[in-house]
Amino acid sequence: MKLNLSLLFATLATASTLCTAQQQGVSKTEILVGTIQDLSGPIAAFGKSARNGMQLRVDEINEQGGIHGRKLKLLVEDSGYDPKRAVLAAQKLVNQDKIFIMAGHIGTAQNNAAMPVQFDKKIVNFMPVTAAREMYEPLSKFKYALFATYFDPMRASVSALAKEKKVSKVCAIYQ
């Protein structure tokens, strides 16, 4: 994930130089990055690891002088992997904490629930940790997905797998 976080910070660097007017979450000294993770729900081990990895990268960037002299500050909220809590977390990060960007938000339902809150304030959803089509569709200048959709690799591999295994019936199991 370091490569992807590096891309995030490169994007932040570019964006911070383009901010001529006052931009939410960007000051002369700081850039506020928000993330919503599952820290207390069914995939809390993954969410805590994601948070820790993001914080390590933020610390590395800050130790190297930040981005154009601005230090990054990672603001983390816990959704418990619950869409309703994700909306509340997004409202806090966007409206109260005034983040510049949402990065690495985990979960399909959680992202789908929170994106309207973000987009209403023109806050980018950057590299959400889900491969759902909704992270791309409909197209939006506020959506920057991390993965190819769940659908695309399945579409590409099922016919080859069926041909190789000489099966005529295929099924899919999904949540």
pLDDT in tens, the chain (175 residues): 555 666 665 665 555 545 445 689 999 999 999 999 999 999 999 999 999 999 999 999 999 999 999 999 999 999 999 999 999 999 999 999 999 999 999 999 999 999 999 999 999 999 999 999 999 899 999 999 988 888 888 888 888 888 898 888 877 776 6
What is d(CA 86, CA 105) in angstroms, rounded to the nearest whole number? Answer: 9
- Copy the structure tokens of residue 145: 């997905």
Q: 3-32 b/e with 16+ CB inside 10 Å = b?
A: ebbeebbebbbebbeeeeeeebbbeeebbb
Contact status, residue 123 vs residue 101, Cβ threshold 8 Å: yes
Question: What's this model's pTM, rounded to 2 decimal places?
Answer: 0.82
The alpha carbon of residue 65 and the mean position of all alpha carbons in its chain are separated, in whole angstroms, by 24
Cα-based distances in Å from 116 to 32, 36, 130, 154, 162: 19, 15, 17, 28, 40
